Amino acid sequence: MLCVILFLLLATVQGQNPPIPKMDEHRCLGSAWVVDRTRFRYSSNPVSKPSLMLVNGQYVYAFKTGIREGQTVHILAELDGGIKDLGRMEFNFLAGTPVIEDGTGADVMHLKFIRSKQILPPRTRPANDLYITANTLKNGKWMDQINMVRRFNGKYLFPLTITALADRFEIRAFGEFFFYYYYRLPLDYISFVNARGSDSRLNQIYIGGQRMEPPLRAVFPNGGIKPGFTLIIDGVARNSDFSIAFTDPENKFGIMLEIRVNFSKQTVILNSKIGKRWGQAVRGSYFPFKDKKAFDMEIRFFEKTLTVFVDTKEVATFDHRALPTYGEMSVEGLLHIRGITICEPQQWPKHAGDMYSGLLTKQTYSYSKDDS
């Protein structure tokens, strides 16, 4: 009896001051530059592995964060085979408290995913359904629950993004649109996000980005992207062509790299135009984009080459044709950009100067030295 009381007491005492970590702002292994309105902001903390903690008697992954309109929460969960179902996970976007507590606080969005397990014949539905409920806790009372069923497209990994739009959350899974959840409480109520599950794990969670539309020119921070850096562009394709052109910090060489995405031809072509001459085109090994589907383009810069990945699959490798340093890029065409992140090499010393650098602007210009 005493043990139980002591345990409860300890749990309560611990629960009162849990060291709730701040949610990561990127998924880089070292420091990063993240978009912050019209500039890049230095974010010195490398990504951390989410860990379960005991908060007021509940085992949760808990994080401190606000959510600004236009930002996206990126989640990678694992729903991995239980007794009752194939894993369940819930997410809470909370005001004031890191976990739901009776009669206090508010849950701006409570999302729950249960992966179904088909036990009884006949198998009327495929075994990989996801039962989803969404709700809001307002003034200590749950509102009307929304129920949905969606297909679970993977094996056990569950990539989820939650983007804060003006009047609703947009929820995507596997890059594809899943559903909207209209705000029932204001977005700026949110101060904590937690995740809890059974037969499931949270592998990654971070918040960042902002919504941007081309034309967009990004002048990279701190003198540009060098070997060892990684550039990450999050976007949603729109069944329309787009291109991303890069030049050196002084725009001396013209287009050092252009990535041209052609939807009608289903091609990704990489090329350069140094001076007046187009170089040899390098064709992507496959076409990774799909109308309305979110993508995560990652460009890794090495000493002599760079490699473009989309959704972790390699698309093409390209030799540097002039300098190995890229000063800026301009994006043209139709697509929604949701975030740009620049990862610094893991071993780099911490940046000490201005925490803001670079530029994001709609004023693009052609890097072509001569269009003839």
Ligand X SMILES: *[C@@H]1O[C@H](CO)[C@@H](O)[C@H](O)[C@H]1NC(C)=O
Residues in the site for ligand X, rule: CB under 6 A?
241, 260, 262, 264-265
User: The dihedral of CA 268, 271, 273, 274: what is its sign?
Assistant: positive
Distance of closest approach, residue 286 Cβ to ligand X, in angstroms:
17
Distance of closest approach, residue 267 Cβ to ligand X, in angstroms:
8
Structural tokens at position 343: 């990862």
Distance of closest approach, residue 301 Cβ to ligand X, in angstroms:
24
Closest CA to 63 of 33, 93, 26, 88: 93
- In the three-class reduction of DSSP (H, G, I as helix; E, B as strand; rest coil), residue 189 is classed as helix
Distance of closest approach, residue 264 Cβ to ligand X, in angstroms:
5
Distance of closest approach, residue 262 Cβ to ligand X, in angstroms:
4
Q: How far apart are CA 1 and CA 15, in angstroms?
A: 21
Phi, psi for 38 (deg, rounded to 5) = -105, 10
Closest CA to 109 of 32, 29, 192: 192
User: The dihedral of CA 34, 197, 169, 338: what is its sign?
Assistant: positive
- In the three-class reduction of DSSP (H, G, I as helix; E, B as strand; rest coil), residue 187 is classed as helix
Distance of closest approach, residue 260 Cβ to ligand X, in angstroms:
6
DSSP secondary structure of 217-264: EEEPGGG-B-TT-EEEEEEEEEEEEEEEEEE-TT--SEEEEEEEEETT
Report the residue count for the chain: 372
Structural element, H or E, at residue 5: helix 2-16
Nearer to ligand X, 207 or 245 (CB): 245
Distance of closest approach, residue 214 Cβ to ligand X, in angstroms:
12
Nearer to ligand X, 238 or 252 (CB): 238
Nearer to ligand X, 116 or 262 (CB): 262
Structural tokens at position 319: 């030799």
Structural tokens at position 23: 């949610």
